[in-house]
Amino acid sequence: MATAFDLIIIGAGPGGYEAAVEAAREGKQVLVIERSHFGGTCLNEGCIPTKCLCHSAEVLDEVRQSAALGVQTADVQFSLQNAMARKDGVVEKLRAGIEALMKTPGITFVQGEAKFKVGDAHTVIIGDEEYTAPAVMIATGSVTKFLPIPGAHSQHVVTSREMLELTEVPRRLAVIGGGVIGLEFASIYRSFGSEVTVVEYCKEILPQFDRDLAKRLRTSLKKRGIAFEVGAAVTELRDEADGSATVLYSQKDKVKEVQADLVLMAVGRAANVDSLNLAEAGIDFTPRGIKVDENYETNVPGVFAVGDVNGLLQLAHAATFQSYKVLDYLRATANIPEGHSSAEALPQRGSGEGAVPAAVFTTPECAMVGLTEEQCEAQGLEYRALKSFYRANGRALSMEAEDGLVKILVGADDTILGAHILGAHAADMIHELTLAIHAGIKLPQLARMVHAHPSLSEIILAAARG
Ligand SMILES: Cc1cc2nc3c(=O)[nH]c(=O)nc-3n(C[C@H](O)[C@H](O)[C@H](O)COP(=O)(O)OP(=O)(O)OC[C@H]3O[C@@H](n4cnc5c(N)ncnc54)[C@H](O)[C@@H]3O)c2cc1C
């Protein structure tokens, strides 16, 4: 006999645990199932540990350059072991916080691997136990993809997970993939002292970002000593007798190679669906992820998939906000009067609800929200690009942070279509523009908002004022 709940959530990452707490606080009986650690990829091997290392890298760079600021330091030492230990401490602290949240009244937590019962997508099995609920949320995240090439699993190849556990800084690091994860590790380990080469298949790094910003970021990273091979298809990875590795790639019809002591495979992440028994339970999925509609509902009514597992947006905050939207939908559909559709019952949403910011924590940082110039062009939108540069901002100069710009894309009716920031604190600054898009604030209003002086946010003001 299956134990009954109001809501079953599979996965305690950002797509799972926040929604569990919200639903339980509303009086729902919620079952959370997690096979590994609280916090998912994000907390244990993603966002948080990488940002700890990013901070170590940033401080190290600052200390090395501090003489220009009048701060003399003798013989700067870096300990990877200490940086890793601090990172582990931060992760443990945050994990304990989530563990405490899982004790919220109404939440039952079960440690184990869930799979669906054959022919019943509302019942999950863990070991010998069965659990059932009218609503099930799948939030099982993603796993690293490997290129289907010879040597992809050879001795020198590691994933982002192992990069967070290294005990030595590799002398030469080859990064396959110039996406967010690859670039963050390239930036971190460059600061730690590695010679880094990034090999990217597309013509430009960060294919999802505004091309202009991505190119400028590549230029900045090159100045820091990171080498890039773009438009380069990696064809083979080889372990060499001398203990090194060779990355073979083709570029403009020529076969080339780069030597490394460690190779990071960072070519994207695939939906984590293998253990779930989806096909047997009748839940549709593709290699990209579980298929969902605009409410993140699968083809089986009452069964939802949020976060990386649906393949829509691989960002922690996107996972969480998708799960909130599922709760909105469940609330609304629970109260639908007879003869009305669920769509009518859903809360009204602002036009800017889709404004999801994304950030890359390289040095310098890069962040975006809304449309890129390429997307504006592809959609045939009339737009103008307003730019302002860090080098003209007093606060940026005082911080020795002259490298960067803010670019705002504005439509014919002054609607803010997208915003792109390269430079110090880009990941924090992007939220002013996210709010503008979210709340439908148009350019003239933004241009009249008082900004404190001297602040980096004045770069946004300067761009808005044209
Ligand atoms: C190196 C790296 C850096 C990143 N940095 C950032 C960043 O700075 N900002 C950002 O927004 N995003 C970042 N991401 C992406 C972010 O981690 C993911 O988008 C986010 O974790 C997705 O959340 P989720 O809840 O969908 O899945 P996850 O966080 O992956 O959680 C899924 C959970 O489900 C569990 N699970 C899986 N299958 C089962 C099963 N059958 N039964 C029980 N439990 C199961 C897993 O153990 C896991 O704990 C990064 C990712 C990586 C790899």
Last residue of a domain, one of 267, 302, 323: 267
Closest C-alpha to 411, from 383, 440, 449: 383
> Active-site residue numbers?
453
pLDDT tens for 376-427 read: 999 999 999 999 999 999 999 999 999 999 999 999 999 999 999 999 999 9
Q: Is there a single domain that holds both residue 115 and residue 17?
A: yes
State the CATH number of the domain containing residue 34.
3.50.50.60
Q: Is there a single domain that holds both residue 228 and residue 295?
A: no
Domain containing 368 equals 364-464
Distance CA 400, CA 414 (A): 33
Contact 130, 2 (CB under 8 A): yes
Task: State phi, psi for 42 to the nearest 5 degrees.
Answer: -50, -55
Tokens of 160: 């982002």
What does the pLDDT read at residue 333? 87
Q: Is there a single domain that holds both residue 168 and residue 36?
A: no
To test the pocket of ligand 1, the residue of 32, 33, 41, 187 to mutate (highest count of ligand atoms within 8 Å of its CB) is: 41
Q: Which letter does DSSP use for residue 122 in this model?
A: E
Contact 405, 396 (CB under 8 A): no
Last residue of a domain, one of 240, 267, 294: 267
Q: What angle in degrees, to the nearest 10, is found between the helix axes of 180-192 and 211-223?
A: 20
Q: Is there a single domain that holds both residue 310 and residue 291?
A: yes
Q: Is there a single domain that holds both residue 447 and residue 407?
A: yes
pLDDT tens for 100-127 read: 999 999 999 999 999 999 999 999 999 9
Nearest 5°: the CA angle 214, 228, 223 is 75
Say yes or no to pLDDT of 353 above 60. no
Q: Which residues contact 189 (CB under 8 A, 6 or more apart)?
A: 163, 169, 170, 173, 196
Domain count, the chain: 3
What does the pLDDT read at residue 352? 47
Domain for residue 53, yes or no?
A: yes
Tokens of 387: 């730019």
Distance CA 228, CA 216 (A): 13
What does the pLDDT read at residue 17? 98
Please give the distance, rounded to the nearest whole angstrom, from the Cα atom of residue 65 to the centre of ligand 1: 35
Please give the distance, rounded to the nearest whole angstrom, from the Cα atom of residue 398 to the centre of ligand 1: 38
Atom 3 in ligand 1: residue holding the nearest Cα: 46
Ligand 1 pocket by Cβ (under 6 Å): 10-16, 33-36, 40-42, 46-47, 50, 113-114, 139-142, 160, 181, 272, 275-276, 307-309, 314-317, 319
Q: Is there a single domain that holds both residue 403 and residue 430?
A: yes
Q: Is there a single domain that holds both residue 391 and residue 404?
A: yes
Q: What share of the chain is helix, strand, coil (3-state, %, to 5)?
A: 35, 25, 40
Domain for residue 357, yes or no?
A: no
pLDDT tens for 233-253 read: 999 999 999 999 999 999 999
Q: Is there a single domain that holds both residue 130 and residue 25?
A: yes
Q: Is there a single domain that holds both residue 188 and residue 74?
A: no
pLDDT tens for 267-286 read: 999 999 999 999 999 999 99
Distance CA 17, CA 33 (A): 10
Say yes or no to pLDDT of 349 above 70. no
Tokens of 109: 């937590």
Last residue of a domain, one of 267, 301, 335: 267
Q: Which numbered atom of ligand 1 lies nearest the CA of 160?
A: 1
pLDDT tens for 19-31 read: 999 999 999 999 9
State the CATH number of the domain containing residue 428.
3.30.390.30
Contact 244, 238 (CB under 8 A): no
Please give the distance, rounded to the nearest whole angstrom, from the Cα atom of residue 15 to the centre of ligand 1: 8
